[in-house]
Amino acid sequence: MDSCTPALSDTPHLGRVIAVSACQAVALLERSHSAASDRDLPLEMGTLVKMRTRVSIAYAMVTGLRVPLPSLEASDKDLRLVELELVGEIRATDAVADFQRGLSAYPALDEPVYLASAQDVAQVYARPKVVATPVGTIHQNGAVPAYILVDELFGKHFGIVGTTGSGKSCGLATILRAVIDQSPNAHVVLLDPHNEYARAFGGRAIVLSPGDGLYLPYWLFNFEELTEIVIGPDRNAEQIKILGEAILASKHSYFTKAGLDKFGTVDTPAPYRMSDVLRALDTAMGSLNRPDGISTYQTVKARIVALQNDARYGFVFGSRLTLRDELVEILGQLFRIPVDGQPVTILDLSGIPSEVVNVVVSVLCRLTFDFAVWNETPVPLTIVCEEAHRYASRDKQLGFEAAKRALFRIAKEGRKYGVSLCVVTQRPSDLAPGLLSECN
């Protein structure tokens, strides 16, 4: 081996390799002349070990410790197996040896396994030569900083999973703080269902909530999303037809007043007045030949009026002094353009009625993707979806299908347009199949 390659004989001998697979190995723990007993060996979950291959020193992490056939009492004759995950190598070269993930060659059977030294640990976890930022220290050695590769992490989709109370939110906040420290002009949108991130970033984040900065006017909703709010999950076909005709008539009125020849469709995100929708419903009711059909129109109208009068829906149906195309203002606020020292947008969803939270998430995810696709100047965006299982459930009877489609669209196509997705959940088994598999 080259002088740059770590030595093996200067660290405790643990055992020998008895099984090797594509990314794992098993070692048989043996008595070593360097340790009087197994208890003297600092071997535990997460411990780093090393072994020789024909071209390098391979490193592996302990992922399991077991005694297959234990004696009733502790015995030196018990077989002790160490399960290892192969993580990378340091090759013997003439240049300075750097740690690389993956292996170019595998250790042979009966190859001796050694405990990694403090120097090995520092070399394996050394600061990469690409863009990286520290997020803490490694648990094996509190003196060795832990880095994340910023471009590798945020250039792809990633997930943070763990049981309730395991530290997902703290971990996410730590990562985001480190990233915006290094990249103050980043653009991060964080969907916060429980208002737990408001203080995590200090003045570097803007918090939007219903009644406090969050404004998603109804004309930004596509027809499926607006139908979910107005008609509800029962999806009465006649009511949907009536609502669609009234909205289309209102949009036609807007396009006519604006002097535009093309009217668009019921899904065209064009400003229109909800008062025009109510007027269109009244006109349609007045032209009915059979009065017994009025009840369906009245139901739709009553629902719209109720939503307008409900303060909880003010961020959707709230009136403005003027009706103008506010799309640039809304997108600029959501996606921090310009950043103005606040690269993170926290969308507090805790104040949104539970029956429409999924609809709001659908709108936000759809706007994020469409903005990235149609924006002439590429703007890298990261959307963080806390409790993703609520919006993209495995159970097709739960949630809102449009929200699932919007999230999957980002997961499958977002990287092409500079949109990365962070999925955070304590219930990965409840997520729709395929969403986590898109995360790297």
Q: Per-residue confidence of the chain (440 residues) as pLDDT tens digits? A: 454 556 666 788 899 999 999 999 999 998 654 444 444 556 889 999 999 999 999 999 999 999 998 888 877 778 899 999 999 999 876 456 789 999 999 999 999 999 998 889 999 999 888 888 999 998 888 889 999 988 888 989 999 999 988 899 999 999 999 999 988 999 999 999 999 999 999 899 999 999 888 999 999 999 999 999 999 887 789 999 999 999 999 888 877 776 666 667 888 777 888 999 999 999 988 887 776 678 899 999 999 999 999 999 999 998 664 555 578 888 899 999 999 999 999 999 999 998 899 999 999 999 999 999 988 888 999 999 999 999 988 888 787 889 999 999 999 999 999 999 999 999 998 988 888 888 87
Assess contact for 135 and 399: CB atoms under 8 A.
no
| Structure token digits, residue 58 | 């391979």
Torsion angle in degrees (nearest 10) through CA of 129, 134, 139, 142: 100
Beta bridge partners of 158: 422
Which 8-state DSSP code applies to residue 116?
P
Beta bridge partners of 116: none
Nearest Cα residue to 160 out of 173, 151, 147, 149: 173
Assess contact for 44 and 23: CB atoms under 8 A.
no
pLDDT of residue 263: 65
Helix (H, G, I), strand (E, B) or coil at 258: coil
CATH of 149-215+326-438, one of 3.30.1310.10, 3.60.20.10, 3.40.50.300, 1.10.420.10: 3.40.50.300
What backbone torsions phi and psi does residue 282 show, to the nearest 5 degrees?
Answer: -60, -40
Q: How far apart are CA 166 and CA 186, in angstroms?
A: 27
Residues 6 or more apart whose CB falls under 8 angstroms from that of 159 comprise 422, 423, 424, 425, 428, 436, 439
Query: What's the Cα-to-Cα distance from 226 to each of 79, 240, 269, 274, 281, rounded to whole Å?
Result: 65, 10, 12, 12, 16
pLDDT of residue 37: 47
pLDDT of residue 191: 96
Exposed/middle/buried for 261, CB within 10 Å: 0-12, 13-18, 19+? exposed
Residue type, 317: F
pTM of the predicted structure, to 2 decimals: 0.84
Beta bridge partners of 113: 15, 51
Handedness of CA 382, 388, 393, 399 (dihedral sign): negative
Helix (H, G, I), strand (E, B) or coil at 423: strand
Write down the domain spans for the chain: 13-124, 149-215+326-438, 218-317
Query: What's the Cα-to-Cα distance from 156 to each of 6, 101, 407, rounded to whole Å?
Result: 33, 18, 14
Assess contact for 399 and 426: CB atoms under 8 A.
no
Q: Give Cα 98 to chain centroid, integer Å.
A: 31
Helix (H, G, I), strand (E, B) or coil at 79: coil
Assess contact for 205 and 342: CB atoms under 8 A.
yes
| Structure token digits, residue 33 | 């002349």
Burial 223-251 (b: 16+ CB within 10 A, else e): bbbbbbbbbeeeeeeebbebbbebbbbbb
| Structure token digits, residue 187 | 């653009």
